[in-house]
Structure 1
Amino acid sequence: MAPKNAFYAQSGGVTAVINASAAGVIETARKHGDRIGKVFAGRNGITGALKEELIDTSHETDDEIRALIHTPGGAFGSCRHKLRNIDENRHEYERLIEVFRAHDIGYFFYNGGGDSQDTAFKVSQMAERMGYPLNCIGIPKTVDNDLPFTDCCPGFGSVAKYVATSTLEASLDIQSMCDTSTKVFILEVMGRHAGWIAAAGGLAGKNPGDAPHIIVFPEHPFEREAFLNKVDQCVKDHGFCVVVASEGAQYEDGRFLAEAGQKDAFGHTQLGGVAPTLANMVKQSLGHKYHWAVADYLQRSARHIASQTDVEQAYAVGEAAVNYALEGRNGIMPIIKRESSDPYRWHISEAPLNEVANQEKKMPIHYTTDEGFGITADCRAYLEPLIQGEAFPPFEKGLPKVAKLENRPVEKKLKADFKL
C-alpha cells in the first residue's frame, strides 16, 4: 500500500519563524518517505484545501526548504478563515474530507493560534464522523503567546526580542534629545487580550529609572488620570518618558482605547491605534512634545533579529507534529515544557486540541507591578530565556537572503469549484 500524503497549512497572522515550523514538518516527512508520500501545502491556509488549491512541496529542493528556517512571512500564504460549528457549516467540513480523499491525504497539520487549533480539532471530529482515517495535529504559532499549556508560543520569542531591542534603542534616542525636543515616546505593540508582548518591552530596563517607564497592559483597566500623572512624574524625574502600550488596552468597562468599530474574519474587534490615542491625551493634558510609533507588521516579520531559542522551538514543534502523526496520534498539539529557567531547558510534550481550542492564556497577575505599569522579577525570569541567542539569516548585497519557492500547484481532481 502506498504511503498516505500529508497536508500542511499556515493560519492567522504570520511570524518571523512560522516557516521554520514548515521546514520542520517537510524535512521530517522527507526522512520518512516510506510512510508519508508527498507533503501538500494549502495555498493561503485552510482555504487552499477548501478550494483544492494545493502546493506540491516535493518540487522544492532540500536547500530551499532549509532556507525556510531563516525566511519570515508565510511561505505558502496564510488566511483568516474560521470554520464554524460542524452542525452549522457541515458543507465546509465535508468539502475538506472530499479534497483529502481525492488526494489521498492521511495527515493534517495546521499551524496557527487558538482559532486554528479549534479548526484542527473540528476537522478531526468530522473525519471520525465520516469514517475517514486522518491524523490531525495542531502546530502552535502566535506572537501573542496566549495559547494554553505550552510554556511559550513559537513566534513570541522573536517578537519579544524585537520589541525589547526597539524599546532600548528608541529610549536612548529620546533621552539624547529630551532637553530641547521630544519628551514622550509611545510604542504600540500587538496583544489583543494578553500583554505578553508589551511586557517584553520591560526587558529593556533593568535598573530603577530605566525605560520603559510605563507599560500599558490589557489585563489592567486603563485609568486616564493615573496614566497622565505617571507620565508627568517621569518627565519631571528623568526628563523624558517612554511608554510601551498594548493594542488591546481597555477601560474598566471593557471598551478598547482604540476600537475601530469593525471586526475581522474571526469576529475579533478591529483595533485602530492606541499609540496616537495616548499621545493625544498627553498633548491635551500635559502639553509635552511627543512621538509615537506602531510596531505593527515589523515586529512579527523581523527575522533579522529573531531569537535563536524561538527558531529552535518553532522547528521542534513542526518536527514533533510529524512524529506524533506517525505514531498514530490524533487531535493533539505539540507543546513546549519548561524544565528550568537558568539555565533554560525545555522539551516537547503534548496537549489535547479540544482543551487548547479557543482558550487564551493571559499574563499572571504577579507578573505585573502593583501599580500596573511595569513587570516584576518573576516576569523577567520567564521572559529573558525566550529572547536568548541570535539566529542571523545569511545576507547578500546587504539584505537578508530568503527562500524562493516554486509553489507548483497540484492538479485538481474535483470538478466542482467551491465558494467560500
Structure 2
Amino acid sequence: MTTTVALGTDLKVSNLGECRFDSPLAKYIGGRRTNEHYVDEDDRVLFDDTISLVRERAVPVDRLPSFEPGGPRRQVFFAPGTARVGVVTCGGLCPGLNDVIRGLVLELCTHYGVGEVTGFRYGYAGLVPGNGHRVTRLTPDKVDKINEQGGTILGTSRGAQDPEVMADTLVEHGIDILFVIGGDGSMRGAAGIAQVLTRRGLPIGVIGIPKTIDNDIPYIGQSFGFQTSFTVAAQSIQAARVEAQSAIGGVGLVRVMGRHSGFIACYAALANHDADFVLIPEVPFALDGDGGFLACLRRRVTDRGSAVVVVAEGAGQELLTSSGSDASGNAALADVGVFMKERITSDFEAAGQPLTLKYIDPGYAIRSVPAQASDSVYCVRLAQAAVHAAMAGRTDMVVGRRHNRFIHVPISLAVSMRNRVAPDGDLWLSILESTAQPFEMR
C-alpha cells in the first residue's frame, strides 16, 4: 500500500500556545537557513518527492501537502528549567527503547534545564493509580549505559486505559509534557489523552515516538528498532541455509514477525541472498496445484538440492483458522510457521520426495536484543526531535523522518492506515529478483 494523502488532508500539528521564551538552543541554529542538510523551522517538508507526483496535484506550491520540520526552535513554549516531564513505554518490546529513554533524559536535562524525568512503569497501566505501579525518577546518572541492554527499564504492558484517569494522573504529578513510546495502539491512547487535556483546557503536551519492529506506521520512514530486528532475523535465515545445504532434500523454514506487513521478512531475506521463497501478508499465494507454493518448492529442491523459505507471521492467514484477540485488541493469528511445516512435510511425503526440514522461529529474540549502532543513532535523533517539539508546545503528534528530514506528524494521520509492502513497489521487485521465486504462486 502506498502512503499517499489527498489534497486538503490536515497535516497541521496542534500547539499549546505561543512560544514566548528564548530557547537555550537558539545559538546552535542562529543564522541557519534551509539547505540539503537542514530545514529551517519556518519552512515545510513536501509530502511528495518526485516531479510527476507534484504535477499531479495541479496546485500552487504553497498548497502542496507538507509537514512541519523537526528540530530546535528559536523560541519555546515552556520556560527552560520549569517543565516537568513524564515518559511511558507501551506495547511489545523493541530494540532501542532504552536508547530513546536515555536520549530524552539527556536532551531534557542537558539543554532544557529539566532536573529529572518521571518514568511511569509498565505502560499505560502505570498511569492508573489503582494498579499500584510506583513511578521512578530518571536522571542522567540513572540512564547512563541503559542503551547497552535490551528491553525497557520502565517496563511495558498492552491494553487501553481510561484517558480521563490518565489525564488526572498527569495533573496530580504536575506533568507538563508526556512522551509516549509505542506502536499504533499506543499512539491512539496518546491521542485520547491529548484530547482529554485539550477539552479541559490544560496546557500539557503529549508527544509520540512511534516504535514497531514491523515498520508498519506510515509517513515516518522507518520506525526505530526495525534495522536491528531484520538484522537478527537475517542471522536465522543464514542458519537455515547452512542446515538446508547440509542435508538430503534440505529445506530451511524461518518464521519471522510481521502481523500485517512483511518488511522484516523482505529486508532480512535481502540482507544475505539466502532465501529462495519469501511469503508475506501483502502477497497472497496458493499452496496446491502445479503453480502453487508446494509444487514450486519441490521443484526448487529438485533443481538445487535445497531451499530456504521465509514466512512472515501474518502470511497465508486466509489458509488457516484463527479466532480471538490479544490485550491490545489485535486479531489473534494462527501459527503459519507450524502450519507450513506440516504442509511441506506431508506434501513431500505424498510426492515420494526426500525431505530434511529444519524449522527456525527466532520469535521474541528479535525484539529483546539491544539496538545496533544504526538504530541507536536513529533513536537518539528521534528523542532529540521529540524534545524540541515538546518544548515548543507541540502536542498530539509523533516525530519521524521523511525524505531523510525529521518531521512532525499529527497522531491522527500516523494511525490512519498501516504501512505495508507494496506488491507493485520496488522492494517486492527486489525480492523477486533476489529469490527468483515465481511472480505468482497460484
Q: Give TM-score, length-normalised by structure 2.
A: 0.73
Q: Using a 3 Å threshold, how does the CA distance of structure 1 residues 375 and 48 change in structure 2: closer, same or farther?
A: farther
Between Structure 1 and Structure 2, how many residues are aligned? 344
SS in 1 for 2:378: helix
1:216 alignment counterpart: 279
Verify: 1:350 aligned to 2:408, yes or no: yes
Q: 1:21 offset after TM fit, Å?
A: 0.7
Which of 378, 393, 400 is equivalent to 1:313?
378
Q: Which residue of 1 aligns with 2:357?
A: 290
Deviations 1:381-404 (A, max 9, x none): xxxxxxxxxxxxxxxxxxxxxxxx
2:166 equivalent among 87, 93, 96: 96
Deviation of the 1:44 alpha carbon: 0.3
Query: 1:129-144 residue pairs with structure 2 within 5 A?
Result: 129-144=199-214
Q: Distance in 2 between matches of 1:369 and 1:25?
A: 36
List runs of 5+ in structure 2 lacking aligned partners. Answer: 1-78, 350-354, 435-442
Q: Tell me if the contact between 1:367 and 1:376 (Cα under 8 Å) persists in the aligned partners.
A: no
- What is the deviation of 1:32? 4.0
2:122 counterpart of 1:56: no
Q: 1:300 to 1:286 in 2, by over 3 A?
A: same
Q: Is the 8 A contact 2:209 2:386 kept in 1?
A: yes
Give CA deviations for 1:193-239 in whole Å, capped at 9, x if unaligned: 10001112222444xxxx21011110011311211012101111111
Partner of 1:39: 117
Aligned partner of residue 163 in structure 2, secondary structure: helix
The answer to whether structure 1 residue 275 and structure 2 residue 337 are counterparts is yes
1:230 to 296, 302, 312: 296
State whether residues 189 and 197 of structure 1, in contact with CA within 8 Å, keep that contact through their aligned partners in structure 2. Answer: yes
- The 1:129–1:48 alpha-carbon spacing in structure 2 relative to 1, beyond 3 Å, is same
SS of aligned partner of 2:221: coil
C-alpha deviations, 1:83-108, integer Å up to 9, x for none?
5xxxxxxxx22211211111100101
1:196 to 263, 279, 288: 263
State the partner residue of 2:71: none
SS at match of 2:159: coil
Q: Distance in 2 between matches of 1:376 and 1:333?
A: 35
Paired position in structure 2 for 1:397: none
Which position in structure 2 is the counterpart of 1:148? 218
3-state DSSP of counterpart to 1:286: helix
TM-score, length-scaled by structure 1 = 0.77
SS at match of 1:242: strand
After the TM superposition, list the runs of 4 or more consecutive aligned residues in structure 1 that deviate by more than 6 angstroms.
none
Instruction: Report the residue type matching 2:297 in the other structure.
Output: V
Q: Are the aligned partners of 1:16 and 1:71 in contact in 2 as well (CA < 8 Å)?
A: no
In the alignment, residue 320 of structure 1 is paired with which amino acid?
A
Answer whether contact 1:228 1:282 (CA < 8 A) is retained: yes
- Answer yes or no: is the 8 Å Cα contact 1:165–1:204 preserved in 2: no
CA distance in 2, matches of 1:368, 1:323: 33
- Which of 303, 309, 321 does residue 243 from structure 1 map onto? 309
| Equivalent in the alignment of 1:124 | 194
1:71 counterpart letter in structure 2: Q
Deviation at 1:260, TM superposition (A): 4.6
The answer to whether 1:76 aligns with 2:154 is yes
Contact 1:168 1:204 in 2 (8 A): no
